[in-house]
Amino acid sequence: LTAHAERALTDPDPWRALEVFLTRTVEAQVTDASLAPVTAAAEDALPRTTELKTALWSAGRVLLDRAREAGAVRADLAPGDLVPLMCGIAYAVDVHGGAPDDRIDTAHRYLGTLLGGLRATTAPPSR
């Protein structure tokens, strides 16, 4: 995930960068059952886990700030909103995602709905 975050940070399109980062995050969460509880945990068993989570949250914050500054996302969306929203999608897929082969498609559909709600109405379409 940190490699995906680093790649997203190099994307010149702020909306696309945020969208790709969140897509990779939710895909990882629905294919690795341990990821959502680890990212949601207030305390970590290993210092390396804390470092990785900090790097991901930092990248998410930068990507969100860039998208907000570009007018691509709602102004009221706070950086702290991203982790619970992503965990919420992972939980919803876990409970209602259907057969294992359908989980990624379900996650993409839920994320698409979420992204539609996060997007500022005046933002230009993503390329």
With cut-offs at 50, 70 and 90, classify the pLDDT of residue 124.
low
2-118 CATH fold: Tetracycline Repressor; domain 2 (1.10.357)
How far is Cα 86 from Cα 45, in angstroms, rounded to an integer?
22
Domain borders along the chain are 2-118
- pTM score of the predicted model: 0.85
Smallest CA-to-CA distance from 108 within 89, 85, 95 is with 89
* pLDDT band at residue 126 using 50, 70 and 90 as cut-offs: low
Under DSSP, the state recorded for 119 is B
CB 1 within 8 A of CB 24: yes
* Cα–Cα distance, 97 to 22 (Å, whole number): 18
